[in-house]
Amino acid sequence: MLRMIAAVCVLAVATGSATAATFTPDLNPLHAAHESQLRDGDFDGNGQTDDLYLVAEDSGRVAVHVRLNGTRDLRITSLEAPANTAPDLRVVAPGAFDSDCGDYASDCGGAIVTRQDSLILGLDGGTSVLVHWQDGRFEQDFVRRDDATAVRALAGLLAFNP
């Protein structure tokens, strides 16, 4: 499977039909030096770098994958995305995030505290989901939009102010 994906990526790049957003998180080459955590992080908290990557599925959805320690591939979730675009996805440092107590939240016990790098996915309608490692697996929790917006604003600020 990975060989097939790599072959498709090489073919697409060679023919000039690929864009960075097709196969990677939302990386602009001009800003990549300031946003180095967009592709990797220590998601399971073991001190080793884990890789984040996206896979275009036959269904038209984009799957979010994490390769733990360079060996264990996990498909975290999949999202609908317009053609040739990447989902709104950010790697965030450990911290506390306020739960979103909206209609879809079943457990609203306050802040979610992460001890390792996590992901924030921006969904349609202004909903944000925190994907974080807990008890040996990835959990997904709705978080307040202003927490997610602050993360995106900080990333933008760092991109324009080296």
Q: What is the pLDDT of residues 91-104, one digit of tens each?
A: 889 988 887 766 55
Digit-coded pLDDT (tens) for 134-144: 999 999 888 87
Pairing of strands 50-56, 40-41: antiparallel
In this predicted model, which residue has the larger pLDDT, 50 or 159?
50
Q: Is the pLDDT of residue 34 over 50?
A: no
The confidence band for 88, taking pLDDT boundaries of 50, 70 and 90, is confident
For 20, the 3-state DSSP assignment is helix
Global pTM?
Answer: 0.61
138-142 CB contacts, 8 Å cutoff, 24+ apart: 138/43, 138/66, 138/74, 138/76, 140/77, 141/97, 141/99, 141/105, 141/112, 142/99, 142/100, 142/102, 142/104, 142/105
Beta strands in 2-156 (DSSP E): 40-41, 50-56, 61-68, 72-80, 88-92, 96-98, 111-113, 118-122, 128-134, 137-143
How many Å apart are CA 91 and CA 39, to the nearest integer?
8
Residue 114 gets the label, from left (phi > 0), alpha (psi -120 to 50) or beta, of beta
